[in-house]
Amino acid sequence: MSAYHRPRTLREAVTLLRGPEALTVLAGGTDIYPARTSRTAWGARDTRGIVDISGIAALRGIEDRGDHWWIGATATWSDIIKADLPPVFSGLKAAAREVGGVQIQNRGTIGGNICNASPAADGLPPLLTLDADVECVGGVEFRVPLAKFLTAYRQTALAEGELVTGIRIPKQTGQGHFVKLGARKYLVISIAMVAGVFDIGSDGEVRSARIAVGACSATAQRLPELEMTLAGRHLDPALMAAHHLAHLAPIDDVRASAAYRQAAALQLVRDLIVQAAATSRRAA
């Protein structure tokens, strides 16, 4: 059996991570255990030790910190669903409710979702649309915009010896939305999903729109061209065109074809815009 550490403080965790042992960070275990099951099924052995960060109080919680919201790395999806957060978080909450089933929502953490960096991670598009920064610690504390943190397929900017401590989301107005597409209702890895944060003026004009698409590229992607197109106009799905998705690079896999993903992303973003327009009309 490999080593298992359960530090109580961040300092202890970082000391361990910067030490000589090769350690894997564990919080909710919803990625670590399935990965172990998958490896050992074909006979590979688990050798890396574990540093279990679930006991570190400083990583827990969801807080209003004046100019920003802070979500601790070990906040679970259920914590996010239950948290009293403004409407801009509605997309993130909707995503949280679509992760796995209740059992996974009770265990999976937002920090794990970010660090696992799956292209199909449901939490990433909503966080991108919230302009989230990732707070990290290693030799020093540092902060990275989420879009920069996600560097490649299942790769992050985190180096050995570093740890994500939380997510920082600037205070903002607007309404969040999320739409997921999967081949069944629960416990399903997304074929594609989209998230958006829309700030609509009382005149119905878009003050700002931020939209992101997941499972259609190695990492979830914002749609900057579309966001600019929408700004200053009334929300209308017809403003959305295929070229707004030109930078996506979906793949064929067991869940769907690349061509389908590209087309589905277009439809889902249009659906998202329709949903956002309907919500803003109701609010007006």
Partner 1 sequence: MDHAAPKETDHIAFELNGEPVSLSAGPFTSLSDAIRDNGDPGTKIGCDAGDCGACTVLLDGEPVCACLVPLAQVRGRRVATIESVHHDPLVQRLVHAFSRHGAAQCGICTPGMVLAARALLERVPGPTRAEAEVAIGGVLCRCTGYIKIVDAICDAPHDLWLGQAIGGVGARVRHVDARQKTRGTAEFGADFAPEGSLWLRVIRSPHASAIFELGDLDAFKLRLGLDAVLTARDVPGRNSFGIFPNTKDQPVFAERHVRYRGEAVAALVGRRDMIETIDVAEFPVVWTETSGLHGIDAALTPHARAIHATHPDNVLTRGNLKFGDVVAGRASAAATAQGAFETSFVEHAYIEPEAGYAVRDGDTITIAASTQAPYMDREETAGVLGIPEDNVIIAPTACGGGFGGKLDVSVQPFLAIAAWTLNKPVRMIYSRIESMASTTKRHPARITAKASADARGHLTAYEMTGDFNTGAYASWGPTVANRVPIHAHGPYKVPNVWNRTRAIYTNDTPAGAFRGFGVPQSAIANETLMDDLAGQLGLDRWQIRRINALKTGDATASGQVLHASAGLAQCLDALKPAWDKALEDAAIHNATNVRYKRGTGIACMWYGCGNTALPNPSAMRITLQRDAAVGAVFHVHSGAVDIGQGVSTVLLQIVREALAVDGAFIWLTPDIGNTAKTLDAGKTSASRQTFVSGNAARLAALDLRAKLLRLANAGDGAAMRLEGDVLVIGPEQRRIALAELPADLESFGTYDPPTIPLDADGQGVPYATYGFAAQIAEVMVDTALGTTKVLHIHAAHDVGRAINPTLVEGQIHGGIAQGLGLALMEEFIPGRTENLHDYLIPTVGDIPPITIHIIEDPDPEGPFGAKGVGEPALVATAPAILGAIRHATGVTMRKVPVLPHRLWEALQEGKT
Q: Which is nearer to partner 1, 157 or 188 (CB)?
A: 188
The C-alpha atoms of residue 10 and residue 137 are separated, in whole angstroms, by 9
Concatenate the DSSP letters of all residues of 22-60 into one string.
-EEEESS-TTHHHHHHHHHHTTPPP-SEEEEGGG-GGG-
* Of 215, 217, 132, the residue nearest 180 (C-alpha): 215
Is residue 278 within the footprint of partner 1 (CB under 8 A)? no
Q: Smallest distance, Å, CB 30 to partner 1?
A: 5
Closer residue to partner 1 in complex, CB, 33/142: 33
Rounded to an integer, what distance in angstroms lies between the CA atom of residue 195 and that of residue 145? 17
CB 130 within 8 A of CB 89: yes
Nearest residue (CB) to partner 1, 210 versus 244: 244
The only residue of 22, 183, 241, 242 in contact with partner 1, by rule CB under 8 A = 183
Binding mask of the shown chain, residues 80 to 109, with x at each position contacting partner 1 by CB under 8 A: --------------------xxxxx-xx--
Q: Is 10 in the site for partner 1 (CB under 8 A)?
A: no
Kindly state whether residue 48 participates in binding partner 1, applying the rule CB under 8 A.
Answer: no
Looking at 188, 218, 249, 251, which residue binds partner 1 (CB under 8 A)? 188
For residue 231, the Cα-to-chain-centroid distance in whole angstroms is 24
Residue 55 is a binding residue for partner 1 (CB under 8 A): yes
Residue 40 CA to residue 193 CA, distance in Å, equals: 31
DSSP calls for 232-271? TSB--GGG--GGGGTT------SS--HHHHHHHHHHHHHH
**Residue 120, φ and ψ in degrees, nearest 5:** -95, 15
189 binds partner 1 (CB under 8 A): yes
117 binds partner 1 (CB under 8 A): no
208 is an interface residue for partner 1 by CB under 8 A: no
- Interaction site with partner 1 (CB under 8 A): 1-9, 12, 26, 28-30, 33-34, 37-38, 40-45, 50, 52, 54-55, 78, 100-104, 106-107, 181, 183-189, 191, 254-257, 259-261, 263-264, 267-268
